[in-house]
Amino acid sequence: MKKFLLLLTVFLSAQSFATDYYASDFGAKADGITLNTASIQAAIDFASSKGGGRVILTPGKYLCGSIYLKNDVTLHLEAGATLMGSLNPWDYVRDPYCKWTAFVFAVKQNNIGLTGKGTIDGRGFEVANKMVEYIRRGLFEDKLVLDRPQESNRPENIHFRECVNVTVKDITLKNPACWNQQYDQCRNLLIDGITVDAKCYWNNDGLDVVDCSDVIVRNCFIDASDDAYCFKSHTYKGVSENILVENCVGRSSANGIKFGTMTHGVFKHFVFRNMVIFDTYRSAITVASVDGGSVEDVVVDGLRSINTGNPIFLRLAKRNSHEDHHQACLKDITIKNVYAEVPFTKPDAGYNYEGPVEDLPRNVCPSSILGLPNMRIENVSLENIELVYPGNANKNYAYRGSSPAELEAIPELEKSYPEFSNWKEEPAWGLYIRHADGISLKNVKFKVLGQDYRPSIVADDVKGLKLENVEYNGIVTNKTTMK
């Protein structure tokens, strides 16, 4: 924790500004009509050339295309100021180095920030649909898979690549055409007190932190139609480490907290504290390594999740057989002080972009810890946890038994996209563990509100399972070890 306190000192010292520059002095007009890309960029470039400072947007609507933050510059949006995305897709840059499209870029810059009580509104629904129109007319080259442009061609609200000392504080980010904000290979990153409304189009992740180190995310509210707090690795050389997420709230039509899906590199030393996750179609917590990456030393301490499709999903697999998986691991995971409720109905009903409606409903799935026979999950501790399930599973509709032969018949699905629902029916209603070593449950309560034909816990090929004060259906179990 001393490491995180040191980071705070670095961030706070980086927020001292020598000079304020007003974008209006460079010709920017807050009328919602004038395209201000050149004017705002001129203000940023000038401030950087003079040693840095703040470029300030006063209240009003500033229509703009892609802009780039530069060294030692913070773009400050006062309350009532909106940086408003152009509806013309040609006003956005697909950066040749990053190979992504974005509204606000920073590439290899130091000591930069986005601050203030204002708003960045990408107007992504309109932009993406205008892109679709241009693609169909042959004016824009894109594969248009599933009738939507490729992710990297749709503008994110923020894309920062290989930057050092980054502060994003207090602002509101809304309506991206793709992911909302991506921080790729950045160091010393503080995201504090921001509000995210990312529900206007497909792939609207709330926050994507990719191969970054020394990161603090705190006091944030994210409402997203895709994953809310998402941590990825795009390269085998990538390292994500020393990351603290605390006092945050997430609402998501996918996963609340997620490692992946792209997990090529190293993830280590993560702490999540005092989190609230709700209305999640998929899992409140997903920790997955499926692309050869290593995930270790992850602590979740304090989580309340209401109306979630699945509380906890841990997955180690290999979906790409041509890749080298020798470093792949998922180990030393601690999840404690958690309360979660799973509904019988679809938990993300009402989103503009809901999770898919399955052609056949299924009985509610349990939390899962799922490795492979030759890739085992190691050292997972679950402590002070209460998980409430709806029950009412109907074995006459769908059945998954727990005899040795029936467990053996469950497919491994090692190449599948990692989601808890892949197996449709699972053999337990509370917790299903497979191909894992050193799993410890202490003060864990499983509660089912209706009848369920399945047992509360199923452990298949698990070595060193320890149960201490584990309660299910009102029965308390203490079993020191199970091979």
Q: What CA–CA distance (Å, rounded) separates 461 from 319?
A: 21
Q: Give bridge partners of residue 432 from the DSSP assignment.
A: 368, 458
Residue whose structure tokens are 């629904």: 125
Under 8 Å CB-to-CB from 78, ≥6 apart: which residues?
Answer: 56, 57, 58, 59, 116, 117, 118
The average pLDDT across 27-32 equals 98
| Segment (H or E) for 156 | strand 156-161
Average pLDDT of the residues of the chain: 93
**Residue 360: its pLDDT value, please?**
59
DSSP letters for 176-239:
-SS-SEEEES-EEEEEES-EEEE-SSTT--SEEEES-EEEEEES-EEEESS-SEEEEE-STT-E
- Tell the burial category of 411 from Cβ atoms under 10 Å away from its Cβ (0-12, 13-18, 19+): exposed
Question: Which residues neighbour 409 within 8 Å (Cβ) at sequence distance 6 or greater?
Answer: none
pTM for this model (two decimals): 0.95
> 204-221 pLDDT, tens per residue?
999 999 999 999 999 999
Higher pLDDT, 268 or 480: 268
pLDDT digits (tens, 9 = 90+) for 357-409: 765 566 899 999 999 999 999 999 999 999 999 998 988 888 999 999 999 99
pLDDT for position 398: 87
Tokens of 338: 């958690």
User: Residue 326 has what pLDDT?
Assistant: 65
Q: What is the pLDDT of residues 230-239, one digit of tens each?
A: 999 999 999 9
pLDDT per residue as tens digits for the range 362-371: 689 999 999 9
pLDDT 10s digits, 131-155: 999 999 999 999 999 999 999 999 9
Average pLDDT over residues 62-84: 98
Instruction: Say how far residue 362 (Cα) sits from the centre of its chain.
Output: 26
Amino acid at 175: N
What average pLDDT does the segment 442-467 reach? 96
Q: Is the pLDDT at 321 greater than 70, yes or no?
A: no
Nearest to 335 by CA among 285, 372, 293, 288: 285
Residue 468 CB neighbour total at 10 angstroms? 15
Please enumerate in sequence order all residues whose Cβ is within 8 A of that of 298, keeping only pairs 6 or more positions apart, or say none. Answer: 259, 267, 270, 272, 287, 332, 333, 334
pLDDT value of position 483? 39
Q: Which comes out higher in pLDDT, residue 114 or 1?
A: 114
Token pair of 296 as six digits? 């270790």
* Degrees, nearest 5: CA angle 62-87-182: 80
Question: Per-residue pLDDT for 415 more than 70?
Answer: yes
Q: How far apart are CA 83 and CA 28, in angstroms?
A: 11
Residue 357 pLDDT: 75
Q: Is there a contact between 190 and 213 (Cβ–Cβ < 8 Å)?
A: no
- 80: amino acid identity, one letter: G
> What are the structure tokens assigned to 36, written together?
């201000």
- Contact present, 259 and 245 (Cβ < 8 Å): no
Q: CB burial class (10 A; 0-12, 13-18, 19+) of residue 322?
A: exposed
Q: What is the reported pLDDT for 11?
A: 55
Cα separation, 412 vs 215, whole angstroms: 35
- How many CA atoms are closer than 13 Å to the CA of 259, on its beta-carbon side? 37
Instruction: Assess whether pLDDT exceeds 70 at residue 312.
Output: yes
Q: What is the pLDDT of residues 102-118, one digit of tens each?
A: 999 999 999 999 999 99
Write the CA distances from 167 to 4, 15, 84, 452, integer angstroms: 15, 8, 21, 49
- What integer pLDDT is reported at residue 324 of this predicted model? 62
Q: What is the DSSP letter of 412?
A: -
pLDDT at 13 over 60: no
- Other Cβ atoms closer than 10 A to 216: 20
